[in-house]
Amino acid sequence: MNSRERFLATLAFREPDRPPTFESIFDLNQEAFGREIPSEQAIAAATGQERDRLLHECVEVYGLIVERFGWDAISIWSPWGGPDNLDCLRLAVRELSSQVMVGAFIGWAIHAIDTVKDYTQFAVDLYERPQEIHAQARQMAETAVHIGLDMAEAGADFVFPVSDVAYNQGPFLSPAMFREFVTPYLEYFIPPLKDQGLIVILHSDGNLMPILDDFLAGGPHVLQSIDPMAGMDLAEVKRLTYGRTALMGNVQCSLMQEGPEEALRAEVRRAVSQGAPGGGYIFSTSNTIFPGMPLRHYEVMLEEFRELTG
């Protein structure tokens, strides 16, 4: 199978030759390749041929990641948002889509932990000015639709809405409030993107179990993170969502940071044994390949994965 066939098979809950794998973000480019993705600030300040050169450098690094680590998809995480992101996405589609699925991120689509700047005021508004909260939510959801449609026009295979709605202890709103102030807007912005043929990969860290059905009410193709540090049990989540939403992630990030290697290998074996049977699972960490993580640990993770899956 090629990457596209593998990806689509697992989303259809058929077992591919192996689970597809990629990471939402890879931030060890200096360690892996001795180079970095050009900064968003440099790209924003550049014009003409210099801007084109910097965007090509971005895509070159994305290509190096795909080739070295055998990814089946790539998300354009830098530059983030706006025309620079769309132009980088177009270039990545042109250069990389024959090898892998290509997509990009949508941020701030719903009320979430990262969208609230003043929690005291937000808490007051939930009770005293709920219509303002709804109006804000509607505006964010409408913006997410417009961004996603632009990404579809740019040739994206998938979009990656990222909205952390839970802590390790549970959701940032009570289930009742989540159902009132968040779920309707997931149901608002996800279906139009699916109607454009986009695969929707919805992200949140934290313990989603009290709101799992409400978080998936918009019908995303994939739920990403399945955060084991928050008590998310991959086998149980798969039991609850199989045939409806595929899953991505669950390799514990604290082990990716700290090791030891044998514990990390055991973690990979657990995730694959719970996630892979029957399809519907994309292999990855429960977050990102973040700065400061030992590159060797990611290599160990992939070594064990390849040994298990061929």
pLDDT in tens, the chain (310 residues): 999 999 999 999 999 999 999 999 999 999 999 999 999 999 999 999 999 999 999 999 999 999 999 999 999 999 999 999 999 999 999 999 999 999 999 999 999 999 999 999 999 999 999 999 999 999 999 999 999 999 999 999 999 999 999 999 999 999 999 999 999 999 999 999 999 999 999 999 999 999 999 999 999 999 999 999 999 999 999 999 999 999 999 999 999 999 999 999 999 999 999 999 999 999 999 999 999 999 999 999 999 999 999 8
Contact (CB, 8 A) for 109 and 137? no
Distance CA 78, CA 217 (A): 29
How far is 198 from 69, CA to CA, in rounded Å?
24
DSSP 289: B
Q: How far apart are CA 161 and CA 107, in angstroms?
A: 6
Tell which residue, 251, 281, 272, has the closest CA to residue 15. 281
Q: Please work out, in degrees rounded to the nearest 5, the angle formed at the alpha carbon of residue 171 by the alpha carbons of 24 and 12.
A: 45
Q: Which alpha helices (H) appear in 39-117, and where do they start and end?
A: 40-45, 48-69, 82-96
Residue closest to 301 by CA, chosen among 271, 258, 264, 247: 264
Cα dihedral 35→36→38→40 (10° resolution): -170
Buried b / exposed e along 110-123 (16+ C-beta atoms within 10 A): bbbbebeeeeeebe
Please tell us whether the domain made up of 3-27+72-77+102-309 is placed in CATH 3.20.20.210: yes
SS3 89: helix
